Amino acid sequence: MNKTVKELSIFFPFWNEEKNIENVVKKAIPIAKRLAFNWEIIMIDDGSSDNTSQICNKLAVEDQKHLRVISHKPNRGYGAALREGFENAKYDLVIFNDGDGQFDFSESLKFIEKIKFADIVIGYRKKRRDHPMRRILMQLLKIWDFVFFGFYFRDIDCGFKLFRKSAIEKISPLKSEGAMITTEILTKAKKAGLRIAEVDVTHYPRLYGDQSGGNLRVIIRAIRESFKLWLDLRYGRI
């Protein structure tokens, strides 16, 4: 694989992923080296209660030039973790990948090919490998976003996306702390007239740890954030 871009920022949000971190990060490093001349990996520990923070810091010490850690205490939510990644990324292309080991980071090349003609590239899972309830919630989210925000994408909450830094600047500041961060991103991107492309990705079963997306507290928070976003859009506050 020849180097395809000059610079690339990569970040992974982690919450209680102690058994996945080393596998995720160490698989990403050689791919980053092949893709970009200059690259960084940001590991975001969102207030984990296990050994996530310690493992992230150990990895960062091994390569202080390319790896760094951002930690939240206490846990703030998926949206807050993504915002930290966007705000701290220093290069012109910014890609993030969920830290649960369910994606193949080598598929980043697909995103980089698409970004030539887009501002944002979002992944869609060809076949979801998670709990049926998560798939049901995904379908409900697509209907919800179409009704309230007027857009439709194949897989809104897929945790594999690539952005131009200029696109992030146009949709900032982001406010969502929880799961509605993606809806906020796409709503603001649509309003700003940004070009959004989609690309298929492979999804693998989770081997370690627990999913939080189906948690009732997470769902209630997402609904509350969604209504706030809709009100902000309706009354011209974004």
- Between residues 214 and 52, which one has the greater pLDDT? 52
Tell me the torsion sign for CA atoms 65, 67, 71, 76: positive
Q: Which residues pair with 186 in a beta bridge?
A: none
High-pLDDT (> 70) share of the chain, %: 96
Q: What is the mean pLDDT of the chain?
A: 92
pLDDT value, residue 128: 87
Q: What is the mean pLDDT of residues 187-216?
A: 87
pLDDT tens sequence across 59-83:
999 999 999 999 988 999 999 999 9
- CATH number, domain at 210? 3.90.550.10
Q: Tally the domains of the chain.
A: 1
d(CA 143, CA 151): 9
Show the domain range for 165.
Answer: 5-234
- Between residues 8 and 143, which one has the greater pLDDT? 8
Nearest Cα to Cα of residue 55 among 97, 90, 26 = 26
Q: What is the mean pLDDT of residues 95-108?
A: 96
Residue with tokens 């999913």: 211
Q: How far apart are the first and last CA of the chain?
A: 41
Q: Give SS3 for 203.
A: strand
Q: What is the mean pLDDT of residues 94-116?
A: 96
Question: H helices of the chain, where?
Answer: 21-35, 52-62, 78-88, 108-115, 132-149, 165-171, 181-191, 216-234
